Chain A
Amino acid sequence: MSSTLTTALRGLRLTPFLPIRPSVTLPSIPSRPLSTTSVPLNKMSPQYLAAKGLNKKSKAKNNAPRQPNFINMLRHLAVLSPRRIPAPLRMARNRYLRHWTIHRAWLMYRRKEREAREKVWMRQYQSMNHACEELRLTSGPGSRDEGSLFRTALEKWGVYGLKGVPIEYTRAQTETPARVAWNHDWKR
Chain B
Amino acid sequence: MTRSQQVARPIVRSLRQATTSTSAACQSQPLAIRQFSSTPNRCDGPTTTTTNTSGTPAAPGPEVLAPKKTPPISLVKQGTEEELAKYLSPELGSRRRRAALATTGDVPFEQLPYQCFQEARKILAQDREEKISKIIAETAKIKRLEATDASTFRGGEEYKQKRLESMRNHVEELKILADINDPLVKRRFEDGMGDMNKPIYRYLAERKWRSMDYKIITQRVNQFHIIPDVLPAFDPTMDVKMTFRGYKVAPGAILDSLDTEVPPTLRMQVFDKGERMLSVVVLDSDVPDPESDTFRRRLHFMATNVSWDPTSKSLNLNRLNAGSSSASGNTETGSLAVSWLPPFAQKGAPYHRLSVFVLEHADNKPLDVAKLKELYDSEVGRQKFSVKSFRDKFNLTPVGFNIFRTVWDEHTAEVMARHNIPGADIEFKQQRITSLKPPRKAKGWEAKRQKPKYRSLWKYTKRIKGLKFK
Do A and B assemble together?
yes
Interface size on A, residues (CB 8 A): 12
Task: Determine if A42 is an interface residue (Cβ-Cβ < 8 Å).
Answer: no
Nearest A residue to B125 by beta-carbon distance?
A: A105
Task: Determine if A75 is an interface residue (Cβ-Cβ < 8 Å).
Answer: no
Question: Across the interface, do B109 and A102 meet the contact criterion of CB distance under 8 Å?
Answer: no
With contact pairs A98-B112, A101-B117 given, residues A108 and B123 touching in the complex (Cβ less than 8 Å): yes
Nearest B residue to A106 by beta-carbon distance?
A: B120
Give me the 6 closest cross-chain CB pairs, A-B, nearest first: A105-B120, A102-B120, A105-B123, A97-B183, A104-B181, A98-B117
Residues of B close to A98: CB separation below 8 A? 112, 114, 117, 183
Q: In the assembly, what is the distance between CA of A110 and CA of B181, in Å?
A: 15
Residues of B close to A108: CB separation below 8 A? 123-124, 127, 181
Q: In the assembly, what is the distance between CA of A104 and CA of B116, in Å?
A: 12
B112: shortest Cβ distance to chain A, in Å?
7
Question: Across the interface, do B181 and A97 meet the contact criterion of CB distance under 8 Å?
Answer: no
Task: Determine if A94 is an interface residue (Cβ-Cβ < 8 Å).
Answer: yes
Contact indicator per residue, chain A 62-95, by CB within 8 Å of chain B (1) or not (0): 0000000000000000000000000000000110
Taking each of A93, A98, A106, which has the highest tally of chain B beta carbons within 10 Å of its own beta carbon?
A: A98
Give the size range of B's interface with the partner: 10 to 19
B219: shortest Cβ distance to chain A, in Å?
29
Q: How many residue pairs between the two chains, A and B, have CB atoms under 8 Å in the bound complex?
A: 37
Interchain residue pairs with CB less than 8 A apart (24): A94-B109, A94-B112, A98-B112, A98-B114, A98-B117, A100-B183, A100-B186, A101-B117, A101-B120, A101-B124, A101-B181, A101-B183, A102-B116, A102-B117, A104-B120, A105-B119, A105-B120, A105-B121, A105-B123, A105-B124, A106-B120, A108-B123, A108-B127, A108-B181
Task: Determine if A121 is an interface residue (Cβ-Cβ < 8 Å).
Answer: no
Residues of B close to A109: CB separation below 8 A? 123
Q: Is the interface of B mostly helix, strand, loop or mixed?
A: helix
Contact indicator per residue, chain B 92-118, by CB within 8 Å of chain A (1) or not (0): 000000000000000001001010110
Chain A residues near B (Cβ < 8 Å) = 93-94, 97-98, 100-102, 104-106, 108-109
Residues of A close to B170: CB separation below 8 A? none
Q: In the assembly, what is the distance between CA of A106 and CA of B119, in Å?
A: 10
Nearest B residue to A107 by beta-carbon distance?
A: B181
Nearest B residue to A102 by beta-carbon distance?
A: B120
Question: Across the interface, do A105 and B183 meet the contact criterion of CB distance under 8 Å?
Answer: no
Contact indicator per residue, chain B 121-133, by CB within 8 Å of chain A (1) or not (0): 1011001000000
Residues of A close to B183: CB separation below 8 A? 97-98, 100-101
Q: In the assembly, what is the distance between CA of A97 and CA of B112, in Å?
A: 12
B139: shortest Cβ distance to chain A, in Å?
24
Residues of A close to B77: CB separation below 8 A? none
Task: Determine if B187 is an interface residue (Cβ-Cβ < 8 Å).
Answer: yes
Question: Across the interface, do B127 and A101 meet the contact criterion of CB distance under 8 Å?
Answer: no
A100-B186, A101-B117 given; 4 more Cβ-contact pairs under 8 Å? A98-B112, A100-B183, A108-B124, A108-B181
A31: shortest Cβ distance to chain B, in Å?
47
Q: Among A97, A102, A105, A106, which residue has its beta carbon within 8 angstroms of that of B186?
A: A97
Q: In the assembly, what is the distance between CA of A102 and CA of B115, in Å?
A: 10
